[in-house]
Amino acid sequence: MPELAFDPADLWHLDLEDIDALEIGSGILGTGGGGNPYVGKLRARQALAEGLDLAVLPLEKIADQAWTISVGGIGAPVVGVERIREGREGLRAIRALEEHLGLTTDAVVCEEIGGSNAFEPLLVGAFAGLPVLDGDGMGRAFPEMQMTTFSIYGHKSTPSAMADVHGNVVLFQHATTELFHERMARACVVAQGGGSDLAAAPMRGSFVKEFAIPHTYTQAIALGRAVMEAQKRHDDPIDAICKKENGRRVFSGKITDLKRHLRGGFVVGEAQLSGIDDCHGDEASVLIQNENLVFSRGGQVEVCVPDLILVLDVDTGEAITTELLRYGQRVAIVALPCHRLLRSDRALEVVGPAAFGFPDITYRPLPLPEEVS
């Protein structure tokens, strides 16, 4: 008798409160990118209202031989605000890939837990009647597809399928490298209007259990709940975030200048900050490529990728995505340590500062929780 892919008794069925918390938590982990989580929340709430099941399966509960497919949105985050998705792009991409390869998917995997891309796999899973594993390939958001732990640690993401709002589906049969796959998909998404869904080549359960960033849906929802509880108690939600994630507030300031534009399917730019409160008199900046990449104070780099740089509303503690940054906003900059899978030499070649065009910046990792005395 074939091994069951998972035990249905292990599933966690998300409710409206989970969805509200996930909006906040995924926005924080998105480091400014991943798509606007508010739009994702609205779509998830609509799915629940229609009786669909948003189910999460603990990462360790998927069978080793099960087939899983990762899915996520690709394109510039601003497009996700200006043009709402049709809704079933990801489902069409998975079905096209299944037909092409002659297999059946047992579970959906999240490419990146950050922003609206935390919701996209849940919606695809709901439409397909499949659970989403409690983990992802980034533990945050990154702007390029080869920047997943899956690709970093050996998974070849083609064949893949990409679907847009118009019903078009494109198959990528073979890419010689993960970077070439990213470049071809990026060119295609520009032609499709700047926002699509992509389903990557299937992975066995055993591989995902070893190389996914674990328990990130649990993390995002717990983080969102911590912020909501702090808001209710009129406590400082930013302190709650730092305590929950072993983070630190590195700056408080007001946005005094903002340069931001679309280039090659990305939002790129820089936010200039003038210090307030304890940081009065200091000047700082955040460099952006869909996500927040580098934080500097007085021209000196203090935090950089792959650690997480959060731009948060100074009062609510909620994330401000890069497409919603505005002149005059009062923000707190918080730094969180990334998962150890993103800290190896192999990973830093793909997600370290040099990979984003900053070869002169040296990555100095923030301490992980177990490293704090």
- Per residue in 132-179, pLDDT tens? 999 999 999 998 999 999 999 999 999 999 999 999 999 999 999 999
Cβ burial 10-20 (10 Å sphere, 16+ → b, else e): eebebeeebbb
CA distance 347 to 185: 22
Mean predicted lDDT score pLDDT of the chain: 93
Phi, psi for 256 (deg, rounded to 5)? -110, -15
Sign of torsion over alpha carbons 204, 9, 43, 29: negative
CB–CB of 174/158 below 8 Å? Answer: yes
Q: What are the distances in angstroms from CA 186 to CA 135, 190, 265?
A: 25, 6, 6
pLDDT score for 260: 85
Alpha helices in 297-361 (DSSP H): 345-351
Is the model's pLDDT at 311 over the cut of 60? yes
CA distance 141 to 36: 12
Residue with structure tokens 């679309």? 262
CA distance 20 to 17: 5
Residue with structure tokens 């190389």? 211
The CA-CA-CA angle for residues 79, 84, 87, to 5°, reads 120
CA distance 55 to 69: 15
Q: DSSP labels for 109-125? A: EES--SGGGGHHHHHHH
CA distance 259 to 114: 23
pLDDT score for 143: 87
pTM: 0.94
CA distance 304 to 343: 12
Is the model's pLDDT at 252 over the cut of 80? yes
pLDDT score for 1: 37
Phi, psi for 307 (deg, rounded to 5)? -60, 160
Model confidence band, residue 368 (pLDDT cutoffs 50, 70, 90): confident
CB–CB of 204/65 below 8 Å? Answer: yes
**Residues 186-237 pLDDT 10s:** 999 888 887 899 999 999 999 999 999 999 999 999 999 999 999 999 999 9
CA distance 368 to 343: 11
Residue with structure tokens 């966690």? 12
Model confidence band, residue 86 (pLDDT cutoffs 50, 70, 90): confident
Is the model's pLDDT at 263 over the cut of 50? yes
Model confidence band, residue 63 (pLDDT cutoffs 50, 70, 90): very high
User: For the chain, which domains are there?
Assistant: 8-216 (3.40.1610.10), 240-356 (2.40.390.10)
- For residue 160, the SS3 value is strand
For 136, the token pair is: 């992802």
Sign of torsion over alpha carbons 264, 364, 276, 114: positive
Whether the link from the prior residue into 306 is cis, omega within 30° of 0, is yes
Q: How many residues does the chain have?
A: 373
pLDDT score for 267: 73
CB-facing half-sphere around the CA of 34: CA atoms within 13 A: 37
Q: Which of 153, 137, 103, 116 is nearest to 347 (CA)?
A: 153
